[in-house]
């Protein structure tokens, strides 16, 4: 299992692995925002956390279609299906690896991007905390979509259509928590805990559903 985790991370970091591309895409989305809404710092600071969240969501979805597809094409998936290790556990590890090379770096990049979006310290801390808690949900929900679309030629597009609506709660609570931290009467903790709960929930449901879908793929 550790071997699988190490291999997936190693592959993602090598050229063509997609981890760096996802980060670049994130940067591009964040940079495009000020051009779209204008360089007014106050406005940017208001929509900044939301921009970071939408960017993280899209960047997280970007590489998901390859999560199982690459393994399916080169026959690795067959070996995974035949492995004595339970398939949901393998899916969990692969989703975790996906999060470690996308969700986690996206979160760590927030302080850098905060400069572009004129965010203050509280907003940066709150955004990082919510992204840390919420991006695993994207990887785990996305794993189901990736497993379902694994053999489809243009699966990536369909995957986004299927997964995005299911990610809406994460987005709502994530951005809501950041807003709670920034503006006084709104609370931070309840929505933050809800984000964490959704992540945990899908860390359990996602691998089982994805494993069920992968078994249909051969």
CA–CA separation, 127 vs 17, rounded Å?
Answer: 27
Max Cα separation, the chain?
A: 57
Three-state secondary structure call for residue 53: helix
d(CA 204, CA 184): 34
Determine if 79 is a binding residue for other proteins (CB under 8 A).
yes
CA dihedral 44, 47, 53, 56 (to 10 degrees): -30
- Does the protein bind other proteins through residue 191 (CB under 8 A)? yes
Out of 2, 36, 42, 184, name the contact with other proteins by CB under 8 A. 2
Give whole-number Cα distances, 116 to 60, 85, 89, 215, in Å: 21, 46, 40, 45
Burial class (CB in 10 A: 0-12, 13-18, 19+), 79: exposed
Based on the shown chain and the rule CB under 8 A, indicate whether residue 172 belongs to the binding site for other proteins: yes
Nearer to other proteins, 70 or 100 (CB): 70
Q: Does 81 bind other proteins (CB under 8 A)?
A: yes
Residue among 14, 31, 37, 193 that touches other proteins (CB under 8 A): 14
d(CA 27, CA 5): 26
47 binds other proteins (CB under 8 A): no
**Measured from the CB of residue 130, what is the shortest distance to other proteins in angstroms?**
14
The yes or no reply on residue 121 touching other proteins (CB under 8 A) is no
Q: What is the smallest separation between the CB atom of 72 and other proteins, expressed in angstroms?
A: 9
Could you say which of 43, 105, 169, 200 contacts other proteins (CB under 8 A)?
A: 169
The piece of 53-61, 101-109, 126-134, 206-214 that touches other proteins (CB under 8 A) is 206-214
- Residue 97 near residue 143, CB atoms below 8 Å: no
Kindly give the interhelix angle for 87-101 and 189-215, rounded to the nearest 10 degrees. 130
Tokens representing residue 179 in the block = 């807003």
> Is 40 a binder of other proteins (CB under 8 A)?
no
78 binds other proteins (CB under 8 A): yes
Per CB under 8 A, the segment of 19-27, 56-64, 121-129, 145-153 that binds other proteins is 145-153
> What is the contact surface with other proteins in residues (CB under 8 A)?
2-4, 6-7, 10-11, 14-17, 70, 73-76, 78-79, 81-84, 141, 144-145, 148-149, 151-152, 158, 161-162, 164-166, 168-169, 172-173, 176, 179, 186, 191, 194, 198, 205, 209, 212-213, 216-218
């Amino acid at each position: 299992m550790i071997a699988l985790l190490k291999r997936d991370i190693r592959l993602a970091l090598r050229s063509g692995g997609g981890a760096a591309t996802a980060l670049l895409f994130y940067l591009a989305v964040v940079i495009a925002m000020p051009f779209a809404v204008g360089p007014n710092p106050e406005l940017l600071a208001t929509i900044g956390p939301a921009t970071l969240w939408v960017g993280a969501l899209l960047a997280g979805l970007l590489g998901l279609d390859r999560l199982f597809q690459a393994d399916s094409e080169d026959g690795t998936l067959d070996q995974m299906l035949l492995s004595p290790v339970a398939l949901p556990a393998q899916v969990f590890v692969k989703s975790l690896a996906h999060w470690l090379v996308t969700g986690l770096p996206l979160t760590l990049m927030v302080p850098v991007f905060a400069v572009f979006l004129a965010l203050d310290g509280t907003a940066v801390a709150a955004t990082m905390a919510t992204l840390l808690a919420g991006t695993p949900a994207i990887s785990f929900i996305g794993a189901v979509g990736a497993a379902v679309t694994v053999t489809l030629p243009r699966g990536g597009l369909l995957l986004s259509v299927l997964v995005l609506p299911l990610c809406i709660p994460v987005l709502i609570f994530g951005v809501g928590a950041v807003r709670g931290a920034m503006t006084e009467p709104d609370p931070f903790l309840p929505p933050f805990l809800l984000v964490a709960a959704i992540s945990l929930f899908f860390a359990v449901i996602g691998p089982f559903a994805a494993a069920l879908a992968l078994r249909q793929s051969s």
